[in-house]
Structure 1
């Protein structure tokens, strides 16, 4: 970038998208600071495993100079996928070939560690909860944080996820509940403590659905498995049932009744988990989601195009991050870079949003997931 002086770039959100953007910018000699509301990198569990695709997520890691390190950390065996019927019969099974790198798995936490470790010291600012983006559109922008502190930036990049505060500077859109909810359950030391579940799931993922209910089990590293109970329910279904998320026994009893016609082997995914459940109502942004160009603010990832969790979110976020960073490196001004980035990103994300509109319903389909369709292609 030939702009003088060097623009002050603030990235809000230390997820894969925000960190990838910061890393690629630094690879091109451009400084950026990442602000995140969490107190530090170990503040919370980062979630399950991700498959990074060769045509988007891996492109970003290659540009970041981290692709080979990713392959060393990833689990290619995690590409194994099984589709089951409610009787626990396998109706489709993909086993990855030796050396297959189409979309190897990596735990979210390990990916984050890889990206954080690649950044220059001083890049991260933990404990910064953004409250609002102020000042005129032409900038500089003032970022106001919950602790009362403020900073100025010439470019604000919203990589702050579904409930983005940066989005408010560009768009009034808010995520809407899809009508489908995930309930997450954890299984630890599965080889010794849950061997039947370990065998059922295999090295990757196993899915089953009957049109109204679904289950998706996913192997993580460290001998862990996460299971997602997928239901078409009101967002407040737990409290509406007279329960709280801490009432594990009560929720188990409710699930056993709802899945009473399913195989006892699959029902163990509902009941044998270690610890509490975690509630994840699935939200998505209106389709399509766009905004008028702004010379000092833009969005990437879920902040720009939150969609149902059908395997594309993190990959699109990292591709967004890559393209935005390269646009900033190759443009004369921040404004030119945003124009170039959004010219590609918005049509791509709108196309994918339309493709996945009401996609949460697909999670309950007896054709869930699209392993067989992908195999045919």
Structure 2
């Protein structure tokens, strides 16, 4: 029997997990369609914590658990909260067990890429649209038809349009990111994992990545088009401790946060389904990557057990209610975490 042709739009960790699990179960005609030209076309983001019961189970399903553990930073589970004015430690949660160890997103992606059959990823082959029945139109105008198209192409998914008209909406919260390398003062404040400080609607969040690299985020309510300079950002944090304000130095990367409307569901559409942010984009509160990998593994396992058509139905019957539940928790959770300030920028 001929193996079904399955196209996965997007070579992020969700799409690659789905491809890997499908290949482990004997599906040979799996292609990952990626618009970027090469694996290193852009930086892959910061650190992510893989949760027991979701992300870690997906790694197990992918047959990569031992390799993941060798890369994971279990010490990265440390959590620190400090006072905004004194930088004194207020709360401290030390690593315990292996519920949510950290790994750089790029390291995890490389692990997944290296596990796939050669030629699985079609680099520079971006999807412009997908249609019910599995037809794909590429960015160059060419078309192809697959037995299944899996939209794993993120927040601004092109594949999503085949099943839903929904588009992401601005949450009202913006992150402004900075990056720092080998800065002992900032490393000491951050610890081995994550540090947070907050005061009157302003938050600072720093995460240690591998190689003594830190990504820090100023988090606040703001206009969608707000793009502060370094001076403007520092002025907002003027009464914060100088060591904390040092996290705000350097190049600023502006990241307004978006989420899909809640609930986001769709009628089963033969030939197309979604996973990860394409299906349930929500605020970055530690669950998005885990859900994407869980979706991916469960979809692949359902297809292996029931075939493409019934496998997709079985997957969606579980994934959609779970996603709605998480959306209903994370969307208000973001606004609780970053409350309104007296003066909004």
Place the TM-score, normalised by the shorter chain, in its bin: over 0.9
Q: TM-score, normalised by structure 1?
A: 0.87
Matches within 5 A, 1:183-198: 183-188=176-181, 190=182, 194-198=183-187
The equivalent of 1:215 in structure 2 is 204
CA separation in 2, counterparts of 1:361 and 1:258?
A: 19
CA separation in 2, counterparts of 1:106 and 1:364?
A: 26
1:224 aligns with 2:222: no
CA separation in 2, counterparts of 1:8 and 1:211?
A: 53
The structural deviation recorded for 1:148 is 2.4
The equivalent of 1:101 in structure 2 is 98
SS in 2 for 1:347: helix
Q: Is the 8 A contact 1:230 1:363 kept in 2?
A: no
The structural deviation recorded for 1:20 is 0.3
1:327 aligns with 2:316: no
Matches within 5 A, 1:54-203: 54-87=52-85, 88-97=87-96, 100-134=97-131, 137=132, 139=133, 141-188=134-181, 190=182, 194-203=183-192
SS in 2 for 1:120: coil
The structural deviation recorded for 1:78 is 0.7
SS in 2 for 1:358: helix
CA separation in 1, counterparts of 2:248 and 2:146?
A: 48
Q: Is the 8 A contact 2:221 2:339 kept in 1?
A: no
- Return structure 1 stretches of 4+ with deviation > 3 angstroms: none
Q: Is the 8 A contact 1:282 1:360 kept in 2?
A: no
The structural deviation recorded for 1:365 is 5.5
Choose which of 283, 297, 320 in structure 2 pairs with 1:308. 283
The equivalent of 1:265 in structure 2 is 243
Q: Is the 8 A contact 2:173 2:257 kept in 1?
A: yes
Gap regions ≥5 residues in structure 2? 341-345
Q: Is the 8 A contact 1:301 1:320 kept in 2?
A: yes
CA separation in 1, counterparts of 2:81 and 2:195?
A: 6
SS in 2 for 1:42: coil
Choose which of 296, 317, 323 in structure 2 pairs with 1:343. 317
Choose which of 13, 16, 21 in structure 2 pairs with 1:19. 16
The structural deviation recorded for 1:176 is 0.2
Q: TM-score, normalised by structure 2?
A: 0.95
- How many residues were matched structurally? 338
Q: Is the 8 A contact 2:127 2:139 kept in 1?
A: yes
The structural deviation recorded for 1:205 is 0.7
Gap regions ≥5 residues in structure 1? 242-250, 367-377
CA separation in 2, counterparts of 1:325 and 1:211?
A: 45
SS in 2 for 1:309: coil
RMSD: 1.3
Q: Deviations over 1:54-91 (max 9, x none)?
A: 11000000011101100001111111110122122222
